[in-house]
Chains A and B, each alone.
Chain A
Amino acid sequence: MDKPEYNYAIVRSFVNWSILWGLVAILVGVIASFQMINPDLNFPPYLTFGRLRPLHTNAGLYGWGVGTIFAMFLFIVQRLCKTGLWSDKLATFQLWMFNATIIAAAVTLLLGYTTSKEYHELEWPLDVMVVILWVAFAINIIMTIMKRREEQMYISLWYMMASIIGVAVLYLVNSAAVPVSLFKSYSAYAGTNDANVHWWFAHNAVAMAFTAPPLAMFYYFLPKSTGVAIYSHRLSIVAFWSLVFMYLWTGAHHLLWTPVPDWIQTLAMAFSVMLIAPSWGSVINGYLSMNGQWHQMRENYLVKFLILGITFYGLQTLQGPMQSIRTFSAFIHYTDWVPAHIHMGTMGWVSMIGFAGIYYLVPKIYGRELYSIPLANMHFWLVLIGQLLWTIPLWVAGVLQAGMWNAMNDDGSLTYTFMETMVEMYPYWWARSIGGIIFMVGVIIFIYNLILTARGGTSSTAAIAAEGRA
């Protein structure tokens, strides 16, 4: 069989751009975190917290997150199908459409053009761009799968296809709006309906864009990195189908105790708890695949990123269902507990797997071994510590504030005014900002390492490692 011609150039471009947007997202996040500590750091009209926060989330989720997903999917699909991309031109179009969309998103969000819907702030002309982008991507991936030279579709391809379909359905339904002008529209749905549609979108965007794709990467890169196959194929099948079936019922756990009908809330709560099973199916499958390979945690930095990533996925998918229970939600919802939950997922799970995938790709896209493994290890520890210093203080802060909000005197009056509870948050917000800075330093080291690799530098350790192998 002739060797297929893989398009790695496009993968490299997506990796480079997604890292750039990732750095922007982290930087804006750190700035916004300081704005919460000191309101004098708001510079109206463009650089206020209310406008920077959506820029942070959009750059992170769509620039870094989806950018990495594009890179990884375009790589993995070629390898698993043993064929080049269906269309290289379409992939190039996708790259520039992606960057155009992210730049347009950054500009319009700073100008205040927003729908206000969390994680779907982009106004309707940008929605159109996103749809074109996603269709181009979907066609290329699906057509590549169609012309594959490997009959069996590996687990990663299932998650990729589910992601493509899922995001398309979610985004289209939640985009429905009536335009007033080029940059102003009103949602097609009102009030409680709008809330229910939106959180169906937002929660499942997490499922379809930030759970399924990292799992696709994990199932591909873990065996590739360790050299050992996934422990149980059957467990992968059960976990996959139950995950894609159950996730879609859970959006209303973001709306517990709101005017959304109780039965929807109860269904969401029940399915959220059930979701522990398929989530942990993948976690356990990952752990058991490490049987006899745990020594690689010491020796192989890729494995470290992957196993810590899946561990945070496991914690995330235990904490999430817990928060979906009415009584617990009544306590911690609206506090800093929730941003900490999200950041364990983004910084601890999605980013960790993304870093691992990029490190794995380095020899293929830059044509040489990584410049420095010690720097990669330092990157690992900084992003791990940064994330923990971000999340743990805010869980404490969330419990503290929730306790103060609920504290009552003997005569049935409230013990604390709102401001008395808010001022208690400042020390924890400082810890978060410091955690964010540490994470950012880790990512800057990562970028430095990649730049030196791309430029062809070889550090002494890499040379020794290369010699040892030869």
Chain B
Amino acid sequence: MWEKKPVLFLLLATGAILVGTIVTMILPFAWVNTEHDRIETVTPYTALEQEGRDVYIREGCNNCHSQTVRPLVAEVLRYGDYSKSGEFVYDRPFLWGSRRTGPDLARIGGKYPDEWHYKHMDSPRSMVPKTNMPDYKWLRDNALDPEMIRRKMAVLGFPYTGEEIEALAGKNEMDAIVAYMQKLGTGIPWREAATTEIVGELKNPFMGDPAAVAAGRQVYLDNCAACHAEDLSGDIGPELTDMSAYDEAFLYEIIYNGITDGGMPAFSTLGSKKVWQLVNYLMYRE
């Protein structure tokens, strides 16, 4: 009989649609973004960071980059600690994405120094030769509009000061997006927690073996040359031509764990074999 009564049909269809909607879409509001999810250290975006986020949205960065690390072994190793609900409470809209043409960015904050990001945004291929990421150098030409950003902060209800807004006047969209990159994933002190405590004595398994030095050269070119230059003369990172002042174990630890506040990323994901090859290349190359 519903097949002959359109009003009844419409009511029944609406009812059928609403059951799943209420359970899986409306009900979760009772749990998500409540006190239960709260993380004390997570703070709203500053005016500059929020503007960077809006540039990220405008340029559709989310079409190629996700922003959620899943609790899976390979993923936590590659990107860092898995994402927690409470880290996203100030994200309007969410930017989790659905495709990783480029790497996930949920934990990019603090991984590289600002200078790396500027250089990489100017010309990604100058840092990563085979990448398909387009150049965003032109963002430097777009000055920020402090009044508009103030309005945005007011709409979002994020705290800001007059000085903070005034300071935006001389800045451009590149400054904003780099500031945003550096904020991502830093709401919890995961990087410190992820540092590996090295127990016992570190022993160089290669001792200047030429094969290891050659392998180390390749590892260097693939992972280090973008910042320290192909000839080790230094660029964003310091010069590495003379490592005689370092001892093997100390150098190993710097590469493996990085320097959290110095902009040197941790390379533990390379595994200890490759890190030792690097140490041998840096210390014992001809």
Contact = CB atoms under 8 A, between A and B. Distances in A.
Given A37-B132, A334-B98, A405-B74, A117 B60 contact: no
B88 to A, nearest CB: 3
Given A330-B72, A334-B99, A423-B130, A116 B24 contact: no
A459 B144 CA distance: 61
B273 interface: yes
Contacts of A249: 20, 23-24
B9 to A, nearest CB: 6
Contact of B88 (A169, A259, A334): A259
Interface in A172-191: 173, 178, 180-181, 184, 186-191
B16 A244 contact: yes
Given A116-B62, A409-B273, A259 B68 contact: yes
A316 B151 CA distance: 45
A146 B6 contact: yes
Interface stretch (B78-86, B209-217, B239-247): B78-86
A258 B134 contact: no
B88 A191 contact: yes
A38 interface: yes
B170 interface: no
A258 B100 CA distance: 15
Contacts of B100: 334-335
Contact of A161 (B10, B57, B138): B10
B130 A419 contact: yes
A200 B21 CA distance: 8
B64 A418 contact: no
Interface string A410-434: 0111100111001100000000000
Contact of A50 (B54, B60, B68, B94): B60
A241 interface: yes
A115 B125 CA distance: 29
A190 B3 contact: no
Contacts of A418: 78, 102-103
A49 interface: yes
A441 B271 CA distance: 49
Q: How large is the interface on A (under 10, 10 to 19, 20 to 34, 35 or more residues)?
A: 35 or more
Given A153-B4, A186-B156, A258-B83, A411 B132 contact: no
A225 interface: no
Contact of A44 (B64, B74, B138): B138
Nearest to B74: A406
B269 interface: yes
B92 A189 contact: yes
Interface string A228-247: 00000000000001001111
Interface in B149-184: 151-152, 155-156
B183 to A, nearest CB: 14
Given A169-B17, A412-B271, A259 B33 contact: no
Contacts of B200: none
Nearest to A197: B25
Given A153-B3, A422-B131, A165 B17 contact: yes
A267 B23 contact: yes
A257 interface: yes
B56 to A, nearest CB: 8
B20 A259 contact: no
Contacts of A50: 59-61, 63-64, 134
Given A330-B70, A417-B223, A261 B28 contact: yes
Q: Most chain-B CB neighbours within 10 Å: which of A192, A244, A330, A417?
A: A192
A243 to B, nearest CB: 9
Contacts of A165: 10, 13-14, 17
Given A114-B58, A187-B92, A45 B138 contact: yes
A196 interface: yes
A241 B25 CA distance: 20
A422 B102 CA distance: 8
A82 to B, nearest CB: 14
A195 interface: yes
B99 A248 contact: no
Nearest to B73: A408
A142 B85 contact: no
A38 B10 contact: no
B280 interface: no
Given A48-B59, A161-B10, A245 B93 contact: no
Given A115-B93, A246-B20, A196 B25 contact: yes
B17 A166 contact: yes
Given A49-B60, A198-B93, A180 B84 contact: no
Nearest to B99: A334
A394 to B, nearest CB: 11
A339 B155 CA distance: 35
A259 B13 contact: no
Contact of A198 (B83, B94, B152, B268): B94
A245 B131 contact: no
A289 B31 CA distance: 48
Contacts of B143: none
B20 A54 contact: no
Nearest to B274: A413
A191 B6 contact: no
Given A39-B133, A114-B60, A268 B24 contact: yes
B88 A264 contact: no
Contacts of A334: 66, 97-100, 104
Nearest to A32: B63
Interface in A101-148: 112-118, 142, 145-146
Interface string B1-39: 001101001100110111111011100110111000100
B37 A192 contact: yes
A49 B134 contact: yes
A182 B151 CA distance: 13
Given A142-B6, A261-B28, A409-B271, 17 more contacts: A35-B132, A112-B60, A118-B62, A142-B10, A153-B3, A158-B3, A161-B13, A166-B13, A166-B17, A196-B28, A248-B20, A248-B25, A259-B84, A259-B87, A334-B98, A335-B100, A412-B271
Interface of B: 3-4, 6, 9-10, 13-14, 16-21, 23-25, 28-29, 31-33, 37, 54, 57-64, 66, 68, 70-75, 77-78, 83-85, 87-104, 124-125, 128, 130-136, 138, 148, 151-152, 155-156, 222-223, 268-274
List the 4 closest A-B pairs by CB distance, nearest first.
A413-B271, A50-B60, A191-B88, A248-B20
24 contacts: A36-B132, A42-B135, A49-B63, A114-B58, A116-B62, A161-B9, A186-B152, A187-B93, A190-B33, A191-B32, A193-B29, A194-B94, A245-B16, A255-B96, A258-B70, A264-B24, A271-B20, A330-B72, A334-B99, A405-B78, A409-B271, A413-B269, A418-B103, A422-B101
